[in-house]
Every structure is written in structure tokens, then in C-alpha cells.
Amino acid sequence: MTLRDLPSIDQLLQTETAAHLIARFGRPLTLDALRQILDDVRARFKLLALSRVEGDPTIALPLPDLILAQADSTLTAWTKPTLLPVINATGVILHTNLGRAPLSDAAIHAMDIVSRGYSNLEFDLETGKRGSRLIHAESLLQKLTGAEAALVVNNCASAVLLTLSALANKKRVVIARSQLVEIGGGFRVPDVMKQSGAKLVEIGTTNKIRLSDYQSALEESAALVMRAHRSNFKIVGFTEEPGLKDIVTAAHQADVPVVDDLGSGALYDTTKYGFTHEPTVQESMQAGADIILFSGDKLLGGPQAGIIIGKKTLLDKIKKHPLARAVRADKACLAGLSATLLHYLKDEAEREVPVVRMMSLTLKQVKGRVEAWRDELGQGDVVQGQSTVGGGSLPDESIPTFLLELQVKSAEKFLRALRKNNPPIIARTENDKVLLDPRTVLPEQEGALLVGLKNNL
């Protein structure tokens, strides 16, 4: 056979199989796949022809059916989504690698409604003229926190960058050395501060910061004092650090505003669920911080967002900065965040916000779910364990839980098989045993979890 015997693209397109491919994937993409496959066939044919010795049998070319089957596989691989829902059975509530906070039904519905059609994102229904997206969620944040003004941007890193760019470009910002932290993905607070154009004034040492350090630094003019909450690690032992209220008092005596970067953004007392105390947004307000920054997708339990609240005079400057447009939140985020904030205003977060609901589950409730799993599967042991918050919040903190422990031939191979399930199941191992924590498995996912486990046991 020669390359002249290879079917042309036009010939392949005349087949019924090609018609089905075009219907599923579109004509341009189907043509690309066929061209690539034929090019590969030609390249392999030429390579084999060059290496063939006299007397070798004729080189076979793939039949049209095989080419079309390869095109089907290629097109399926090209169009397969890379972002997929998974079942989180790890017990890590805010699993950064798994998308952090799952959203409430109300938040999902609100995002769906505004995404399906048009909305009044920047349209004033009262006047019929152009409106501002900045008002959405602001009134809810004002009611919840008592802040004079609020702004929502796309994440908390953006909130830090925007605030410093608007209020402290080419000006001094006082910050303790213990707070120059790095969070996930190599993101470093000092790097972001420098990117904003602010001049860092580092005070104290890694483990010891005194109020006098702030007072000395403020003897020179400064634009801001910044506190960055260490939400993903702890400094213990020989340490000292003044409280936020004392820092605010010292800064205000020098007529300098205080920015408090809380990060995780708790609106509730985490000790209620067995964790240590996490600073809340309300506490920062009571301490007198002028600007408070926090995330929407961590302990708050909403969509990814950076939230800025505080004094109106300062927020007005932040809102007018050119960078505010580059980091603004979109309509879906604003809708989902507003619905999440409403849960707190209506005192229903423990029931409706998945993150809070997971933390509030009692040991009896968790044990009951594990026992039901074991009975359904007909194997496994119910053992005690620990659930964690994760997501750069409440470092080293855990609460008791019950786990389903499975004894399998190879824990790593079993986990790999679970990851190939539809939907993928993410679990963890310990001492060559597979552990699944019901605390982070959404109730509506239990059926799929059990089917996936049965298919792989």
C-alpha cells in the first residue's frame, strides 16, 4: 500500500460516523482531529518506509473505520472538561485544592438566576439610568458588621493590593515582622505590599513585637498601620504581641488609620464548634480598625471574593482607584455572596451554609452516617478520627469525628481507582488503610459515594 491509498478528509466526511462526530463536536473541530490523525499516519508510514528492508511485507494503512474511531477518541479527549465536581471524603472542610467552601442552595440559585439572563448589575431600576455594581452586597455587609461602607472584589489578595495602592502608594506602612507571611501558592504579603507601591516599615522581631515598636515607628509620618492575621500557622513559645485594640489606639494617637487583614473572615465564634477562637470581623470592628479585609470563600462559606469594609472616607478612595475596576467582582459572585450573607442576617447559617453546618455536626450525627455506610457496604470499621478546617484557617486545629476505615490490598491503588470514579472520590490513607470522613461529604453525594465504593471494593 502507498499513501495514495489513504482516504482523504472529504471521503471520511461522507460517512455516517463523521456526520455523528460533526453533530456532537462541530465541523471545524472534527476537521482538525481528522487532519491530525491523517498527518500522524503519514508520518509513521514514512518512518516505517525508511526503515524497511527489501523483502519486508507491505506496510498496512488504517482503514477508514479505525481513523474515525481514533477521531472520536481524540475529540472526546479534547472536549472533556478539566474542572469537575468531586466528593470530598478527606475531612478537610475548606480543602483549598478541592475548591474550598461549597455553596448553599440559596447561593447557587441566586448565581444561576442572574447568570441565565440579564440583570440590573449596573442599572438603576428606579431612575432608569446607569447604576453601580458596587452597591450589591454593600448594604448586607453594613447591617452584618456595622461598617460605614463596603466593597467586594475578586479575592482577598486583591483586597490587600487595592487597599494599599489606593491609600499608601509611595507612603510608609507599618507592619510587624511576625505578620510578613506566605500563604498558598507562594503568595507573600510583603511582595503584594511592595507591588502596591507602599514602603514597608518592619517593626519588632519574628516572635516579639511590643506596642513601643509601633509607637516608635509612628514618630515618622505613615499612611497606614497594617495587621495581617496569621491564619495558616502559629507562633508559640517565647512570644509577645499587642492586641488589635492597643495597636489601634497607638495608631489613632498618631492620626494613622489601621488596616486589619483577617484573611479567613469568620462571622461567628469558632469555639462553639470545638475549635480555638478565630478573630471575627465584628471583633475587629469593635477594636476600632478603620479598614478590615477578609475572604468570602473561607470561614464565611460563600463564593471566592475579597471583602473590604470600614470607614466611608477611606472606602471612597479605594472605590475610585483605577485598580478597583481590574479586580471587581462579577455578577455571579455578588449574587452568591449576597445570598450567603443573608443566611447570617437571618440567623440560619448553621443550617444553610455547608461550611458552618459541617463544623456544627455532632459526633452522634457523624457516627450515625458512618455506621449507615458500613452497613450498606457490608464491610469496614467505624473508628475515631479528626476533621480539620483547612483553607489557611485555624492552623493545627481539629475536632473529633468518626471515620469509615477500609482494609484493601493496596491503599494507593484503591485511592487511584476512586479518583477515576464518576464523580471522583477523594479520601485519605493512614497505616495502609483507606479512611473516609462523612463530615465533608454532602448529603446529596452519599448515594454516589456508596456506588463508587461498591464498584471498587
User: What is d(CA 297, CA 156) in angstroms, rounded to the nearest whole number?
Assistant: 10
For residue 206, name the pLDDT band (cuts at 50, 70, 90).
confident
Contact yes or no for 418/448 (Cβ under 8 A): no
Distances 69 to 29, 135, 229, 276 between C-alpha atoms, Å: 15, 54, 56, 58
- Strand duo 381-390 + 258-263: pairing: unpaired
pLDDT at 140: 96
pLDDT digits (tens, 9 = 90+) for 8-47: 999 999 999 999 999 999 999 999 999 999 999 888 888 7
> What torsion do the CA atoms of 14, 15, 19, 21 make, to the nearest 10 degrees?
-120
For residue 55, name the pLDDT band (cuts at 50, 70, 90).
very low
Sequence-separated (6 or more) residues with CB below 8 Å from residue 266: 278, 279, 280, 281, 299, 300, 393
What cell does 281 get?
470581623
pLDDT digits (tens, 9 = 90+) for 288-339: 999 999 999 999 999 999 999 999 999 999 999 999 999 999 999 999 999 9
pLDDT at 56: 54
User: What is d(CA 365, CA 369) in angstroms, rounded to the nearest whole number?
Assistant: 7
pLDDT at 185: 56
For residue 61, name the pLDDT band (cuts at 50, 70, 90).
confident
> What torsion do the CA atoms of 159, 248, 193, 168 make, to the nearest 10 degrees?
90
**Mean residue pLDDT across the chain:** 91
CATH no., domain 105-349: 3.40.640.10
Q: For the chain, what are the domain ranges?
A: 3-79, 87-95+355-456, 105-349
pLDDT at 363: 95
pLDDT digits (tens, 9 = 90+) for 86-110: 999 999 999 989 999 999 999 999 9
In this predicted model, which residue has the larger pLDDT, 125 or 276? 125
Contact yes or no for 299/279 (Cβ under 8 A): no
pLDDT digits (tens, 9 = 90+) for 335-382: 999 999 999 999 999 999 999 999 999 999 999 999 999 999 999 999
pLDDT digits (tens, 9 = 90+) for 155-197: 998 999 999 999 999 999 999 988 777 665 556 777 877 788 8
User: What is d(CA 88, CA 193) in angstroms, rounded to the nearest whole number?
Assistant: 35
pLDDT at 162: 96
For the chain, the C-alpha Rg in angstroms (whole number) is: 29
pTM of the model: 0.89
pLDDT at 417: 96
3-state secondary structure of 39: helix
For residue 393, name the pLDDT band (cuts at 50, 70, 90).
low
pLDDT at 365: 97
Contact yes or no for 80/30 (Cβ under 8 A): no
* Percent share of the chain, pLDDT over 90: 76
In this predicted model, which residue has the larger pLDDT, 244 or 53? 244
In this predicted model, which residue has the larger pLDDT, 60 or 454? 454
For residue 239, name the pLDDT band (cuts at 50, 70, 90).
confident
In this predicted model, which residue has the larger pLDDT, 1 or 405? 405
CATH no., domain 87-95+355-456: 3.90.1150.180
Burial class (CB in 10 A: 0-12, 13-18, 19+), 356: buried
Contact yes or no for 424/441 (Cβ under 8 A): no
The residue ranges of DSSP E strands in 42-115, in sequence order, are: 87-88
CA of residue 387 relative to chain centroid, distance: 19
